[in-house]
Structure 1
Amino acid sequence: MTSQSILYITTIIMFVGGLAILFMGKRRTRSEELHTICHGIVPIIAACSYFAMATGQGSVLLHDEGTAEGVTRVFYYARYIDWTFTTPLLLLTLCLTAMRHEKIRAGAITGAILADVLMIVTAFAFGASVVPWVKWAWFAISCLSFLGVYYVLWIPNIESSKADRPDIQADYRRNAAILSVLWLIYPFILAVAPDGLGVVSETFSVLFIAVLDVVAKVVYGLLTIVADNRATETDLAEGTVTHKMPTRAVA
């Protein structure tokens, strides 16, 4: 299987997955509607990114300094554009899950998203760099930014979720754990991919990142939508919904 075929297959999976999430998600409350739209649009954005990479519009050839003359690598810059939009959306819904019935901590959400964007932008600089010491300097900065994201997920957000129902606490901890583990794998695969040390082949790195992306965007999105629908049913039964969507009058 070639890198291009993997990219085309992932494009289809992402697009179908996004439509499935939009179809499965409900819009009984404004919170539920927001979760549905955010999780549905994430795989569709990814589908556009994978289509760009599959057609050659989302990649360029780079020649790293110090490598043999004529040896180049493919730099898939479109994936970083994808992550710049999709990971903040995933973070937003995750933070709102922790603060479902509590006061929204705008500072925590903003801090997590800004740290996340900084992590992605500096990871892009890492992949685009051709000078070794510059490349790994950017990699270190990206990893440090990642710690800021982890801090918000596991300290302020955990504190916010503790004041909520047990099912909301369980949903948040599960979702945070899934994303934390999945996102932790990315820097390792990027470090050994052609953009980094070049230990693994381009095809392997494309396949591995594609699998991670599908799990983080489609599988995670479906699981989250099911959990959010269940939590909304409890909200409606208990009368704890503060923003119920208006019903459309029938003539």
Structure 2
Amino acid sequence: MTPETWFWVGAVGMALGTLLPVRDAVRNPRRWRFDAVLAGVTGVAAVAYVLMALGVGALPMDGFTVQLARYADWLVTTPLLVLYLAMLSRPPRRTYVGLVVADVVVIAAGVGAALSPAPEKWAFYAVGCVAYAALVWGLMRTLPAALGDDADPRVDATFTTLRNLTVVLWTLYPVVWLLAPTGLGVLQPEMEAIVVVYLDFISKVGFVAFAVLGADAVDRVLGAADRAAATPADDD
């Protein structure tokens, strides 16, 4: 099948994935902020895949095509995934901002590398790898520290599952980029499309599905926030 066919597959998969948080928000309105973030992840991805299937944002290069809609998708959805993890762990705002900055540098470096000839390509790639290392450090060390050793076991388990899923799958993207026509050219465009659609589906729809299944952790986060807000009034 052509890459465009796989893009349509991705669009349908992302659209179906969006139904999960929408249904949860209808059934549990108290969770709507969390569900809105999840719906934003798959909803934006579905739109991006439709645009790619229609050829919008496709920039022909020497021997391959750069899908600008894909990078725009990642520029929006990856910070949303980080935001959901931050909503569970509740770090200081500057921590989330720092993670988003690192994330944006990763995506921007990827665009720069895709649009540049060698050796500039590999310089951009190296910058992206360094920024990604900083992002992983924040996800693996900084956010768990904010969660704390005395975190609710259910919140901790849900956070850890989603964080590990994210780190493992995100680490595969630079490898695919390196092997794809954008890098060394080992993968053909059709195979690249298959692999990226699969990774996108698991990293986004899989994340959303696990988050919805573990939504009782959200109730505990909200309950803790309510108790913290009520404490000053109780002390008066």
Relative to the length of structure 1, the TM-score reads: 0.85
* Structure 2 SS opposite 1:240: helix
Partner of 2:61: 62
* 2:153 aligns with one of 166, 169, 176: 166
1:178 aligns to 2:165 (yes or no): yes
Please name the residue that 1:67 is paired with.
none
Structure 1 residue aligned with 2:36: 37
Question: Against the structure 1 CA distance between its residues 217 and 35, is the aligned structure 2 distance closer, same or farther, given a 3 Å change threshold?
Answer: same
Which residue of the other structure, out of 121, 128, 131, is the alignment partner of 1:145? 131
C-alpha contact (below 8 Å) 2:88/2:218 kept by paired residues: no
CA contact (8 A) 1:193 1:199 kept: yes
Q: Structure 1 unaligned runs (5+)?
A: 64-71, 244-251
Structure 2 residue ranges without an equivalent (≥5): 228-236
What are the residue-to-residue correspondences of 1:82-161 with 2, within 5 Å?
A: 82-99=73-90, 104-129=91-116, 131-161=117-147
Structure 1 residues 1-10 or 177-186, which shifts more? 1-10
How many pairs does the alignment contain? 225
| Whole-Å separation in 2 of the counterparts to 1:194 and 1:232 | 41
Instruction: Map 1:227-246 onto structure 2 (within 5 A).
Output: 227=214, 229-234=215-220, 240-242=224-226
Superposed displacement of residue 24, structure 1: 2.7
2:216 is the counterpart of 1:225: no
Moved more, 7-16 or 184-193: 7-16
For 1:77, the equivalent position in structure 2 comes to 68
Moved more, 40-49 or 154-163: 154-163
Q: Indicate if the aligned counterparts of 1:27 and 1:36 stay in contact, CA closer than 8 A.
A: no
Q: Within 1, Cα distance between the matches of 2:207 and 2:221?
A: 22
Map Cα deviations across residues 111-167 of structure 1 (whole Å, 9 max, x no partner).
0011001110111111111x1111111000001111111111111211122231122
Task: Report which of the two has the higher share of helix.
Answer: 2
Given that 1:59 and 1:76 are in contact with CA atoms closer than 8 Å, whether structure 2 keeps it comes out as yes
> Is the contact made by 2:155 and 2:221 (CA closer than 8 Å) also made in structure 1?
no
Residue 240 (structure 1) shift: 3.4
Q: Is the 8 A contact 1:35 1:225 kept in 2?
A: no
- The DSSP-based 3-state class of the residue aligned with 1:163 is coil
Between the aligned partners of 1:241 and 1:28, the Cα distance in structure 2 is: 16
For residues 68 and 99 of structure 2, what CA distance do their matches in structure 1 show?
23
Distance in 1, Cα, partners of 2:14 & 2:152: 33
Cα gap change, 1:235 to 1:183, in 2 (>3 Å): closer
**Does the residue aligned with 1:75 lie in a helix, a strand or coil?**
strand
